[in-house]
Amino acid sequence: MGPVAEQRIYNCNLSGRVGERVSVYGWVHVRRDHGKLIFIDLRDETALLQVVLRPEASELSRAKDLRPEWVVHVEGIVKERPKGTQNPDLVLGNIELVAEKLEVINEAATPPFEITVSDEQAMKVDEELRLKYRYLDLRRTDLRARLNVRAKVIQFARNFLLAKGFLEVETPLLTRSTPEGARDFLVPSRKQPGNFYALPQSPQQYKQLLVIGGVERYFQLARALRDEDTRGDRQPEHTQLDIEMAFVEQKDVMGLIEGLFTALVRELFPERVIAHTPFPHLVYDDAIKQYGTDRPDLRKDKNDSNELAFLWVTDFPMFERDEEGRWGAMHNPFGKPRVVTPQEMLDDPAKVRSEQYDLVLNGSEIAGGSIRAHDPAILEATFRVMGHERKEIQKQFGHMLEAFTYGAPPHGGIASGIDRVVAVLCGAPNIREVIAFPKTGDGRDPMMNTPAPASDEQLKELGLQLRDTKKK
């Protein structure tokens, strides 16, 4: 017999039901055989519950067979634990379930590693192995707790913006490749042989086009994909809270986000202390001079995770040179330069400062945005500084330039990486510990064994041939 939702009670709801007969479901976490009595810790998504079984009872005959991770259904009476046996380290350490009926729903193979409760124990297991069996690692209490926090952060942000009149709009995942800083993931088109979509590094162009289309307050929880070298705080795919607003100045966007994070911390992380409100501001040049970085950690005690030192860094250089000496956008090419003409941009790119801003928390960048250039002449000059010829600019960005000729309002926005925000607020060792199914450092998924080769039939359908890169 399978679980019946109407009868099931989650472990966390048992404290006030002493003396009642209840029905619970979960996984065997630990089994302890004391001869005439067998104890198990029954784990569901909410808590650990001690269950007492007498194996001589006919309806409990399988108690001696139980092993870790078996899925079971237990019916019995909730009782207070005898004096001296309480466990203050457990949420339900003062009660236990005296079993009257045991049903083994599913047995389990021996896991490749112990399913632990805490990060401290889990981190001793090779991460490659944990990612290969991520569905088992997800049973870890600390990891599931962070996923729960992540969901609450997303829901809070959504409700906050909806209450302020923002419209949640989904933008396409199949778009065109554009030079936004990182490499694109390309998707070949079967119906248009020789042509490719690109997966978006951000919804940047679409959200600006939405504003031009009259959506004055936009947001979405967007998936962003970038084929770049992976670090502890980056993944090839991530989730960002993406926002764009019409008829705003820098202070308006920053005020909105400051209000969002202040309210979020007070609601979801009341034990945390925001070091300074309003958040302090520091221009980029001063940050580099004073701290040697544009992401300084302003906490008094750098080891105090309860102190939250937010900081706005503003006035970034519009351009920076790459390793080959070519000019590129420091943030993205759609930011608005501060009071310069297109010719001044072309004459001396190094002097151009932009209306771009980053929000830093405890030394990590958690959000970044800008007031956008809504003058097509400024946008074209930006791409010319970056070395693009007019013909190439029209090919890559002609749709944006044309849209700007139809009455583009002043606008600006920001994007905040949900993975990084949750990792910082939860004190996670890296963003992989706040993502359900992350990739490894080199972009692999050991569980799904991806990336994987395409079949010859798939390649033929797409009109593609693989080149042997091993040959010289």
pLDDT tens, residue by residue, 31-78: 999 989 999 999 999 999 999 999 888 889 999 999 999 999 999 999
Annotated binding-site ranges for ATP: 226-228, 235, 365, 417-420
pLDDT in tens, 181-221: 678 999 999 999 999 999 999 999 999 999 999 999 999 99
Looking at 106, 125, 150, the residue that finishes a domain is: 106
Q: Which residue has the tokens 């330069």?
A: 337
Annotated binding-site ranges for L-aspartate: 180, 226, 331, 372
Q: Are residue 51 and residue 98 in the same domain, yes or no?
A: yes
Whether residue 152 has pLDDT greater than 80: yes
How many Å apart are CA 32 and CA 184, to the nearest integer?
A: 53
Q: Which is more confidently placed, 218 or 442?
A: 218
Q: Which is more confidently placed, 359 or 468?
A: 359
> In whole numbers, what is the pLDDT of the chain averaged over residues?
93
pLDDT in tens, 283-331: 999 999 999 999 999 999 999 989 999 999 999 999 999 888 899 899 8
Q: Is residue 21 part of a domain?
A: yes
Question: Model-level pTM greater than 0.85?
Answer: yes
pLDDT level of residue 332 (50, 70, 90 thresholds): confident
Give the pLDDT confidence score for residue 4 in this predicted structure: 45
Annotated binding-site ranges: 180, 226-228, 235, 331, 365, 372, 417-420
Whether residue 401 has pLDDT greater than 70: yes
How many Å apart are CA 432 and CA 439, to the nearest integer?
A: 8
pLDDT level of residue 233 (50, 70, 90 thresholds): low
How many independent structural domains does the chain possess? 2
Give the pLDDT confidence score for residue 146 in this predicted structure: 96
Q: Are residue 304 and residue 189 in the same domain, yes or no?
A: yes
Q: Any bridge partners for residue 49, and if so which? A: 42
pLDDT level of residue 175 (50, 70, 90 thresholds): very high
Q: Are residue 199 and residue 65 in the same domain, yes or no?
A: no
Q: Any bridge partners for residue 146, and if so which? A: none
Rg (CA), the chain: 28
Domain residues for the domain of 261 are 141-315+355-374+409-434
For residue 141 the two structure tokens come to: 């209490």
pLDDT in tens, 415-429: 999 999 999 999 998
Is 414:420 a contact under the CB 8 Å cutoff?
Answer: no
Query: At 94, which CATH number?
Result: 2.40.50.140
Give the DSSP letter string of 435-454. SSS---TTS-BTTTTBS-PP
Q: Is residue 212 part of a domain?
A: yes
* Half-sphere exposure at residue 418, Cβ-oriented, CA atoms within 13 angstroms: 27
